[in-house]
Amino acid sequence: MERLGRKPRRPWRYSDEQLLSEVRRVAGLVEGPFLTTTEFEKRSCITVTTLHKRFGPWRTVLGQAGVFEMYTGMTGNEIRYTHDELVRELRRVAQLIKKPVLSEPDFTKLATISVDCIRRRFGSWREALEGAGIGEMYSGKKPSPRPVSYYTDKTLLAEVRRVARLIEKPPLTRAEFRKRCDINPDTLTRRFGDWRIVLERAGVPHMYSGRAISDLKRASRRFTSDTEVLDLIRHAATQTGGNHLTYEVCRKLTGLGTSTINRRFGNWKGALEAAGLSAEGVPKHYTDEECFENLAAVWKHYRRPPNRRQIERPPSVVGGHVYMKRWGSWPEVLEAFLEWTDGGQAAQPPVDGDRRFESWRSALAAVGLPRGRFTRLHTDEECFQNLADLWQRYGQPPSAKKLNLPPSKISAGAYQARWGTWCKAVEAFVLWADATHLPPPTDGTQQFGSWKSAGFDRATERKVPRRYTEEECFQNLADVWTHYGRQPSSSKLNLPPSKVRLGVYLGRWGTWPKAVEAFLEWAKSTSSSR
């Protein structure tokens, strides 16, 4: 059995002539005029990465192998044009255009040669203009002639004004500046401040399009002591019209980060106390009774059960996240609240116009659940009855996907949230059907004695991956080896004509070289000539 290189346990080492011969062999098998990397890997066990590491880009590989005409990156026009013809075309268009800059879109409008042809021949648009002797007409990013730290403030501002003149209309963004200059915009912002200040210092403030930054927020970047930080917090509290200041509002006004507050004062409450402000806005741990009393007050305010968004607004003093974290969902919050009111601990039921209710439950029944995005709390009996209706309709156990389609009234998520998996939900349903003596379904021709005999096994069965024998794995490897004419790489096992995936070999033998070694021993023992 012929194979190139050393034992499979070690990386193979191909000579340059062997690699180029393989390229020429595959080139003879390709029916079309081009040889791409994808076509090469389909017909060879040598990866393209090996060729790139040895010779460089794909065009160089084909050139070394003597089949450069099969390179797709070079069109027929590029082969037809000589270097002098391309240079003459660049100079001709440069004379026709009435601009100090020759861009690729302008060249496309006036030239008879495509820009792609120019770029492939010269390497880049800048090198093309320099090769034609018109390098001064290049407006893009140029190599830096000296370290950035050498630039003075005057030089940096002059560079900003130069780029501003190249742009036909504002704004001048950091991204546009980066395209036309070799100086990083971060260098300018570190030297002068934010981007708006850079444009103001350069005399082009009208080119700024960003959002205006308040002086208070800009000042937060220059504080050095705890006193200045506390002054910023007090100033922000004054702007809000009171001493109840939250961290979110303070961060928007001052730009103070969480790390700054925690590093200097421990937490937000400590910062407020150090600034002499009230810490009532800091989240506290509410008891269940306080949460329910707050919900009763909001209910009376809106004269109906509040939804998730209304509990976030005044007169509510407890945030919605407190309820959701403690009870899970908003319907469960209302259910817990009604159980609390049944104990007689709540105030009088709400009044809706002329209607007076005897209890909070009757008020909820008369008004209905609040509008909002939440899942209705279905009882186990409702879930099982819905499943029985679908089973009768389809004549077999429905899949989880069927629950999300009409006529199902309960989605699959409700079953999975309650029982964990769909199989466990079906098992619970069968136990409930046997306990309630629910009549089993019929499929039109057969009457089943129980729900389990009606297809319970089909509803709970799981797909088990097929387990291949060692002989099947070795026979598949032999077929792939014969297809490629040499030992295949591990990636070939995931492509036709292989019928066994690479993961099967790795799971059984650990590594690909060990699998190949085991195959060679099997082939030797069975005296098979592959």
In which element (H, E) is residue 115 found?
A: helix 115-122
DSSP code for 8: T
What pLDDT, on the 0 to 100 scale, is given for residue 462?
43
3-class SS string, 172-187: CCHHHHHHHCCCCHHH
Q: What are phi and psi of 386, to 5 degrees?
A: -65, -40
Residue 355: the pLDDT is 55
Q: What DSSP element (H or E) covers 429?
A: helix 422-436
Peptide bond into 350 cis (omega under 30): no
Return the bridge partners of 442, or none.
447
Pair 455, 430: CB distance under 8 Å: no
- Distance, CA of 301 to CA of 327 (rounded, Å): 23
Instruction: Quote the pLDDT of residue 187.
Output: 85
For tokens 């200041």, the residue is 245
Q: To which residue do tokens 């004549």 refer?
A: 395
- What tokens were used for 428? 């619970």
What is the model's pLDDT at position 219? 47
pLDDT reported for residue 223? 47
Nearest to 424 by CA among 377, 380, 466, 465: 380
Instruction: Output the tens digit of pLDDT for each of the chain's 530 residues.
Output: 344 444 443 445 788 888 999 999 998 888 877 788 888 888 888 888 888 888 888 888 888 898 877 776 654 444 567 788 888 888 998 888 878 888 888 888 888 888 888 887 777 888 888 888 888 888 775 554 445 456 788 888 888 888 888 887 778 888 888 888 878 888 888 888 778 888 888 888 888 876 555 544 454 444 457 888 888 888 888 876 655 677 777 777 777 777 788 888 888 788 888 888 776 544 556 788 888 888 888 887 877 778 777 887 778 878 777 888 788 777 788 888 878 877 666 566 665 555 555 566 666 665 555 544 344 557 788 888 888 888 878 777 788 788 878 788 887 877 876 777 778 888 888 888 888 877 776 655 555 656 666 655 544 444 434 578 888 899 999 999 888 888 888 888 888 888 888 888 888 888 888 888 899 888 888 864 44
> Which string of DSSP letters, residue by residue, matches 322-365?
HHHHHHSSHHHHHHHHHHHHHTT-S-PPPEETTEE-SSHHHHHH
Give residue 152's pLDDT.
83
Residue 229 CB contacts under 8 Å (≥ 6 apart), including other chains: 223, 256, 260, 264, 271
